[in-house]
Chain A
């Protein structure tokens, strides 16, 4: 457990993860306490003059309907983070079940399973998301589902190969020789050993998922006005870019910083956990 502390320390002491961590905590905090922090109602029209530039009253200015951009961004954090997390969770859980199962059973099942992954890879993931939206229709939750679904082949492929590696380890052979059942071996011995990889790829993918969902909302396929989702805000802010650039700059900046923080955390996580693995192997 001492080693765990070292990993934690190594993780926390890094400037990158510190920045990412602090920003994310602020965003999550803002999202939870939005009603307290936000100075105005996110949906109240004509809170101030329309398209007024940033000022002390309206920190990030107002939009075409006179709504406070800052308040909308704070409320918008509720969307961006949760939708990203939900879509990644959906993708990673499905991908893990699929990947671990085909890798462990092996033989024909693995070959057919891998073929399915390959065929799904035949579609570029964004195209797959678009296709899913085309089928199930426009809407924020449909987009979340579409992005999650499109990420499954990617997750399944990585997790399959990780599970395959673990499966080849002598300690799994030992499990078989001790007469353990398949489900026990998968859940109790393979899964815990690929868990760090699952965490890392999920975190590394979270940023991409947030961007994808925001992009689809920007294209008008996801969140619909007046919802303060950042992508949707950018979509409407875009028309007044010339006269009121703040309606476009600030939501995007928050989106960018959120994604960057998530990516920073993912990077540090993967470095920290990798180091742990090399300790496990005995070479410091």
Chain B
């Protein structure tokens, strides 16, 4: 195969008030015709900067200090992209090289219909009449499998779901039969089942109509690389540390960074743990309940402004019951709109439940007012998702950790100081950090501070709401390790909320799968992951791209997640169920869990099918 693009010795620099910082160091690589090249790295590794350098879309404060980017067109003419004028570069952009961006919510113009936005690029480069362009546009929408393409083309971006918008972006990128498509984390903002649909679409396109087109696929997800790419480049701090065939790199990584990256994947850690001690699971037979929730409902009225006659409600949590045993970790897993976060906040009473019981240490706290909760608050704490937003930026760490102790009168100020530095050491930070402010820490460090804040009141029970989702893979692994140690030293019971199945598998004892407010399946982790019963769980498990296991036939579920304002009648999953029975669609069918095996609970609807 011939080379399509050659990047050599690329050095890109960012200027700011704090001086200039080199983002890329001597980046050189080639993309061959028709291949899928994956660019992998954690945040700050320079993968996006590389793609923007090729596109000529770098922000104003960035500049290319050195290097060459050569594009070879059909006649094997050499075009040096970096020396082109903006007009000439515009001839290439969207035509020879096109791009799909990460954020489907913000990447389309909100005031233009999606049809117009596709038309625009066709007319710009192909210079054909509007009628013909329209035909092509509809054809493209069909190609990316958008239902009712004619009607959809007249809609505005905000009327479409994230997955649909990303399909539109792909249609725009495909419009002029480009030689190279750069896809910058195109599925990272999407739910895992939607991501699976898009990856499937990309594979299909790759194998059918765009075989000649090369794809530069930028991602942080090694599973996707394994699934999609031919070759992979690993970047770290603006440098290329490894390059090679996907299979080679994953099986015999040469660079220690790549090796660490692979080893910190939960799937590898699970494997390692299983090898080390299989006995681990039967360690404790402590069956003492710490939390037991019964028939929890949470419905929010849809905000309709000043006329408070809102008839519609968001049905966030529907009839959820479960127990959490002392010293165990219960995982709550689900996609967006599943209500997992709402459930977590309801249990800790940041949100009042609409109905139901929350029995915490044998007392029903669901009706407790603020005053009565005060003592309970000490015993149940929360770790939040966004490490950047969950710390007050105007308080230094000492104040952040001191305030709860003083509010609850746990100890005197000078005693507390010693206690706090003990805790900050426990979460793996030096005592000197206490005098610093949140913005002086990295994401992982901030999350450690968030954990310290949750621990400071000596709680027995912690709800961790996606505590590692905002972090890079290697940092994720460190924080999970920390939580594991702390669980032992502080004798904690946890509910661990996450959308990431592999993290749940690695970290939790039991797991409950949520879909549109309902728990559809609940079981000990090893049971659920080896023998899922509910069709949704099966689809979810098969949707996760993995490095280790080869997946031959994926269970794809179609369509988007319905809105929790108007969930489907009957079984909420029936609209996406691969094999829905007639009985699922009835309006009077009641969802509810049945115990199919000891400790393995599945929603009735799916049990009948088995």
**CB < 8 Å neighbour of A280 from B377, B386, B439:** B439
**Shortest Cβ distance from B36 into chain A, in angstroms?**
30
**CB < 8 Å neighbour of B393 from A174, A180, A193:** A193
Chain B residues proximal to chain A, CB less than 8 Å: 16-18, 306, 308, 345, 348, 350, 373-374, 377-378, 381-382, 384-386, 388-395, 403-404, 407-408, 438-439, 443, 450, 453, 457
Q: Are A177 and B350 in contact (CB under 8 A)?
A: yes
**CB < 8 Å neighbour of B374 from A179, A192, A193, A284:** A179
Q: Are B393 and A280 in contact (CB under 8 A)?
A: yes
Please count the residue pairs between chain A and chain B whose beta carbons lie under 8 angstroms apart in the complex. Answer: 72
A109 at the interface (CB under 8 A from B): no
Chain B residue nearest to A282 in the complex (CB): B388
Q: Are B306 and A115 in contact (CB under 8 A)?
A: yes
List the A side residues contacting B345 at CB < 8 Å: 173
Instruction: Please report the C-alpha to C-alpha distance between residue A170 and residue B394 in the assembled complex, in whole angstroms.
Output: 14
A6 at the interface (CB under 8 A from B): yes
**Shortest Cβ distance from B490 into chain A, in angstroms?**
17
Q: Are B404 and A178 in contact (CB under 8 A)?
A: yes
**Shortest Cβ distance from A78 into chain B, in angstroms?**
36
List the B side residues contacting A192 at CB < 8 Å: 392, 394
Q: Are B350 and A176 in contact (CB under 8 A)?
A: yes
**Shortest Cβ distance from B304 into chain A, in angstroms?**
11
Q: Are A171 and B391 in contact (CB under 8 A)?
A: yes
A178-B394 contact given A173-B350, A184-B407, CB 8 Å threshold: no
Instruction: Please report the C-alpha to C-alpha distance between residue A224 and residue B384 in the assembled complex, in whole angstroms.
Output: 60
A242 at the interface (CB under 8 A from B): no
Instruction: Please report the C-alpha to C-alpha distance between residue A159 and residue B345 in the assembled complex, in whole angstroms.
Output: 27
Besides A174-B453, A280-B439, 6 other A-B contacts (C-beta < 8 A): A6-B18, A171-B390, A173-B350, A173-B390, A179-B374, A179-B408
Instruction: Please report the C-alpha to C-alpha distance between residue A193 and residue B437 in the assembled complex, in whole angstroms.
Output: 14
- Size bin of chain A's contact surface: 20 to 34
A174-B407 contact given A111-B306, A284-B16, CB 8 Å threshold: no
Instruction: Please report the C-alpha to C-alpha distance between residue A169 and residue B386 in the assembled complex, in whole angstroms.
Output: 10
18 contacts between A and B (CB under 8 A): A3-B439, A111-B306, A111-B308, A170-B390, A173-B345, A174-B390, A176-B350, A178-B377, A178-B381, A178-B404, A178-B407, A180-B403, A184-B407, A189-B395, A192-B392, A193-B394, A281-B388, A284-B18
Identify whether the interface residues of A are mostly helix, strand, loop, or mixed: helix
List the B side residues contacting A181 at CB < 8 Å: 407
**Shortest Cβ distance from B412 into chain A, in angstroms?**
19
A10 at the interface (CB under 8 A from B): yes
List the A side residues contacting B350 at CB < 8 Å: 173, 176-177
Instruction: Please report the C-alpha to C-alpha distance between residue A177 and residue B407 in the assembled complex, in whole angstroms.
Output: 12
Q: Are A178 and B403 in contact (CB under 8 A)?
A: yes
Interface string of A246-284 (1 = CB under 8 A from B): 000000000000000000000000000001000111101
Identify whether the interface residues of B are mostly helix, strand, loop, or mixed: loop
List the B side residues contacting A279 at CB < 8 Å: 439
Interface string of A98-130 (1 = CB under 8 A from B): 000000000000010001000000000000000
A179-B373 contact given A173-B350, A280-B439, CB 8 Å threshold: yes
Instruction: Please report the C-alpha to C-alpha distance between residue A281 and residue B306 in the assembled complex, in whole angstroms.
Output: 33
Q: Are A177 and B377 in contact (CB under 8 A)?
A: yes
List the A side residues contacting B385 at CB < 8 Å: 170
Instruction: Please report the C-alpha to C-alpha distance between residue A232 and residue B520 in the assembled complex, in whole angstroms.
Output: 76
7 nearest CB pairs, A to B: A179-B377, A170-B390, A170-B384, A192-B394, A178-B404, A171-B392, A177-B382
Q: Are A179 and B404 in contact (CB under 8 A)?
A: yes
Instruction: Please report the C-alpha to C-alpha distance between residue A281 and residue B393 in the assembled complex, in whole angstroms.
Output: 9
Q: Are B381 and A177 in contact (CB under 8 A)?
A: yes
Interface string of A37-79 (1 = CB under 8 A from B): 0000000000000000000000000000000000000000000
List the A side residues contacting B382 at CB < 8 Å: 173-174, 177
Q: Are A193 and B392 in contact (CB under 8 A)?
A: yes
Instruction: Please report the C-alpha to C-alpha distance between residue A179 and residue B373 in the assembled complex, in whole angstroms.
Output: 8
A171-B407 contact given A115-B306, A192-B394, CB 8 Å threshold: no
List the B side residues contacting A275 at CB < 8 Å: 17
Chain B residue nearest to A172 in the complex (CB): B392
**CB < 8 Å neighbour of B389 from A10, A170, A184:** A170
**CB < 8 Å neighbour of B384 from A111, A173, A282:** A173
* CB within 8 Å of B: which A1-31 residues: 3, 6, 10
Instruction: Please report the C-alpha to C-alpha distance between residue A111 and residue B450 in the assembled complex, in whole angstroms.
Output: 33
List the B side residues contacting A188 at CB < 8 Å: 403
Instruction: Please report the C-alpha to C-alpha distance between residue A117 and residue B275 in the assembled complex, in whole angstroms.
Output: 66
List the A side residues contacting B384 at CB < 8 Å: 170, 173-174
List the A side residues contacting B306 at CB < 8 Å: 111, 115
Chain A residue nearest to B43 in the complex (CB): A282
Instruction: Please report the C-alpha to C-alpha distance between residue A10 and residue B381 in the assembled complex, in whole angstroms.
Output: 41
